[in-house]
Amino acid sequence: MRTQLVFQKSSEVKTELLAVLAVDTQTGKGPNVKAKPVLLTTDARVKAAAAEVLKSGEFKAGANETLLLHGPSRLGAKRLLLVGIGKEAKATAHAVRNAAGSAIRFAKPRGIRKVALALPEGAGLDAAAATRTVVEGALLGDYDPDTYRSDRKDQSVQGFTLVAPATASAEEKKALHTAFGEGVIVGDSQNLARELVNEPGNKLTPTVLGKRAAQMAEEVGLKCKVHSTEKLHELKMGAFWSVSQGSAEPPALIVMRYEPEGVTDGPVVGLVGKGITFDTGGISIKPSDNMEQMKYDMAGGAAMIGAMRAIALLKPKVRVIGIVCAAENMPDGKAQKPGDVQTAMSGKTIEIINTDAEGRLVLADGLAYAKQLGATHLIDAATLTGACVVALGKVNAGVFSNHEETYGKFAAALETSGEKFWRLPLGDEYADMIKSDIGDIKNTGGRWGGASTAAEFLKVFAEETPWIHLDIAGVAWIEDARPYIAKGPSGIAVRSIVEWVRSF
């Protein structure tokens, strides 16, 4: 989708559809409360075109509510789309992101290929923040997961224009252009992660994931090396190798580096992603129901690839290492068995209780390797535990940390990313649950507190390095379409990881 930012009156823009956002300012109290939609524009002709329908009560400006007007008088657009962002008190940049996505998804099935959206004015919205989230939302809304449909009809919106006030000063225009550019980078990078997650296991093997990462790296100027079995043995990555040994497909250790010019000291941020391109559970095989969804067990790795793309283009002044540990977890005569003991790269021994607790095994060696390469701060992302989904549902992802300052940076990043994460606990009691009689630790701690015992397992390998763990199992896949985004891969964590890295 081609995107552009223009500075002119919304009413003068020639386009197939002009979208204008609205808030509900509400009047009255108690049972007498009535919706009072107000358009977030200062353009008098746009307001006049919508005046009658706003008076009718037909449109209440609820979150992502839409109403289409054909042939609006005195406008350059052929259609005027009103999109609600909800009550005025909840008018945030994140609501604007969703509203922009809703406008695009409204247009797509109706054959509308060129869409303009008026930058919302008023309601306490910051213009730069709204600019960035509008273009992010538009790009995310344009994505659909129907990659392999033989009757696929490309309904993508071909052109998206954000219309900012013509009265903006030179300084304001510069700030909005910067915000717009950032939004394009982040939106495209999140969509890259979604494209990777959407690929079926027979199309996206660990080797192919490595090739896709290397291709991306070449395009944006990152250093990238993709290793396989020989390197795992050389590094003594016994935990990572144990997961891959039952598959005919070789593993891939993907290492991406961002080294900004002139930065030779300071922190080195390590991004580590779980890249299980298909997870059967191994010998501890999963039930067949919904196993097809296990192609998305590499969503953490995809998030890191998407984040590294955005980092390369945004150019923060901090060194970053991205590591994705990619493998298939398959049952086979060579597969590891419950009761096996594996030796991780760090030298820790791991008793395998359940071969379906494989994500933490690949991450264990990924975290150790990131530290060996010089990472001073770590973040990992993984579709790690069903227990996290039980705890938080399919609304929030889980976040754990061993370092308050580092977690504080992540919490602040969420203010910009708008993604929903909820901090869950670590503690000695959880650590005790993964102690092994035969080795150092077990790869599961039993049924109770499974998200926290899994995080404690990873903490063993992070050691004293400031570290954040993201358990995205419940939110990596959207089961039902929403007004602003298609069902399928969400691309969760890309925005938050990028903002966290930029905080350094």
Cα gap 132→56, rounded to integer Å? 33
Q: Which residues pair with 70 in a beta bridge?
A: 79
Going by C-alpha positions, the residue among 364, 359, 469, 491 that lies closest to residue 424 is 469
What is the per-residue DSSP string for 284-324? SPPPSTTGGGGGGGGHHHHHHHHHHHHHHHH--SSEEEEEE
Q: Which residues pair with 422 in a beta bridge?
A: 398
Cα gap 239→365, rounded to integer Å? 6
**Alpha-carbon 212 to chain mean position:** 18
Cα gap 313→263, rounded to integer Å? 16
- Which listed residue (114, 295, 360, 502) is catalytic? 360
| 196 class by beta-carbon count within 10 Å (0-12 exposed, 13-18 middle, 19+ buried) | buried
Structure tokens at 308: 């590294």
Cα gap 235→366, rounded to integer Å? 11
Q: Can you tell me which residue has the tokens 């006049």?
A: 48
- Tell me the one-letter amino acid at 400: F
Cα gap 275→303, rounded to integer Å? 10
236 is catalytic: no
Going by C-alpha positions, the residue among 246, 248, 302, 240 that lies closest to residue 273 is 302
Going by C-alpha positions, the residue among 214, 17, 1 that lies closest to residue 106 is 17
Q: Can you tell me which residue has the tokens 């379906």?
A: 356
Cα gap 307→309, rounded to integer Å? 5
Q: Can you tell me which residue has the tokens 């891959």?
A: 244
Residues 6+ apart with CB under 8 A from 450: 385, 386, 387, 388, 444
286 is catalytic: yes
Is the separation of the CB atoms in 321 and 232 below 8 Å? no
Q: Which three-class secondary structure state does DSSP give residue 193?
A: helix
Phi and psi of 153, rounded to 5°?
-115, 120
Q: Which three-class secondary structure state does DSSP give residue 332?
A: coil
Structure tokens at 429: 């009691």
- Tell me the one-letter amino acid at 8: Q
- Which listed residue (78, 286, 420, 423) is catalytic? 286
Checking phi first, is residue 266 left (phi over 0); if not, alpha (psi -120 to 50) or beta? left
Provide the annotated active-site residues.
Answer: 286, 360
